[in-house]
Amino acid sequence: MNPWRIPRRVTGAGAMLLLIAALTACNTQADTAGAQPSAPRVSVADVIVREVQLWDEYTGRIEAVESVELRPRVSGHIERINFREGQEVDRGDVLFVIDQRPYQVAVALAEADLLRARSRAELAQTEAERAERMADTRAISLEELDRRRAAASQARAEMHAARAALDAARLELEYTEVRAPIAGRAGRAQVTVGNLVTGQGNGTPLTTIVSLDPVHIHFFADEHAYLHYEAMARSGDLASTRENGTPVRVGLLADEGYPHPGTVNFVDNRLDSGTGTVLIRAELANAERQFVPGMFARARIPGSGTFTAKLVDPKAILTDQDRKYVYVVDDNGRALRRDVTTGRMVDGLRIIHDGLAPNDRVVVNGTQRIFFPGMPVEAELVTMDATTTP
């Protein structure tokens, strides 16, 4: 139907309205056909250039510096337990008391034996001295003089033996008080009052004590990492782990990141041929008692010296088969593709070894709106470490 042809039945005002409607429709179609699509909005950020240091991450376990399984040295019945299970104890605290009466009797007997031996020794010495004077006047024979000298010497030996027996008896009496050999936290009491414990052989287990401050963390590095650290130490990029104490950062399961500082103080002298790893040990302060032996922990140590690196948000990096690339926006507002060589992550950003210049502006949000290289875009500048979607 011809839009300009007015039906014969429509005249006057009706014809005028139809003519206006037809003109409006034609103008709308013409405007739609001539409109150009708007450029998509994207977020761009400047490449970050700064000094960085790479860190290698490991998992390990918290271990006590000192750990003791407490056992008695003498036998007897437990008379008292002087600690609460799980409490901290100081070195020298009396934790268990074994019935002391038999050992007190033994000390008294040993003291009496020593007195008797001392008396015999004094008498024998007196007789020997008298014999010396009598021998000068030939009042006794030389044989009698020798016998008295021997008797005096034997009496002195018996006195020394009695004194040693007294020392042993006193030592056993002292052992009836089972003391903490180290400061730390006591474990569960494995015996109760009235039980008979023995000091023979390995002895009856009483409890365990672990030291609390400082603590160790043990983790294992593979052979490749070990050779890398040794090479850095020889080149001077990193202090020797064995000699100078490499810094280490540690985090627990509930921690974000690695908030606890420590120092590597031991590297094993051989690699395990079965696993191809070497034991590394670091020491941590534990004044607040946040570390408990047996805990799982994460550790990281320096994996390189400091160097200047270009960093971008990992969301900006795209993949084309085996190649990595980003989009940068030039001065004309066009999105251009740049193939890049990526490195490790540092503080949530990806290191770019090759492919970007320090003054490039990288598309960090909205890359899905770029359909081909060179496409015009409307760029909004944001910061690289806090990108936002427009």
The distance in angstroms from the start CA to the end CA of the chain is: 48
With CA atoms as reference, report the closest residue to 72 among 201, 168, 158, 187.
201
| pLDDT value at residue 377 | 87
Q: What residue type is assigned to position 200 of the chain?
A: Q
| Helix-helix angle 142-175:101-136, to 10 degrees | 160
Structure confidence at residue 386 (pLDDT): 47
**DSSP characters for 281-306?**
EEEE--TT----TT-EEEEEEEEEEE
Is-above-0.75 flag for pTM?
A: no
pLDDT, position 233: 79
Which pLDDT does position 37 carry in this prediction? 61
Element (H, E) at 42: strand 41-46
Residue type, 313: D
pLDDT confidence of residue 185:
93
Distances (CA, A) of 190 to 85, 96, 205, 267, 294: 10, 11, 7, 36, 20
Listed as ranges, residues in the chain with pLDDT below 70 are 1-37, 237-244, 385-390
262-286: pLDDT as tens digits: 988 888 888 888 888 999 999 999 9
Burial profile 231-261: b = 16 or more Cβ within 10 angstroms, e = fewer: ebbeeeebeebeeebbebbbbbeeeeebebe
Tokens at residue 4, please? 């300009």
Helix (H) or strand (E) holding 249: strand 247-252
What is the predicted pLDDT for the residue at 217? 94
Exposed, middle or buried, 110 (CB in 10 Å: 0-12/13-18/19+)? Answer: buried
- pLDDT value of position 63: 93
For residue 254, the model assigns a pLDDT of 87
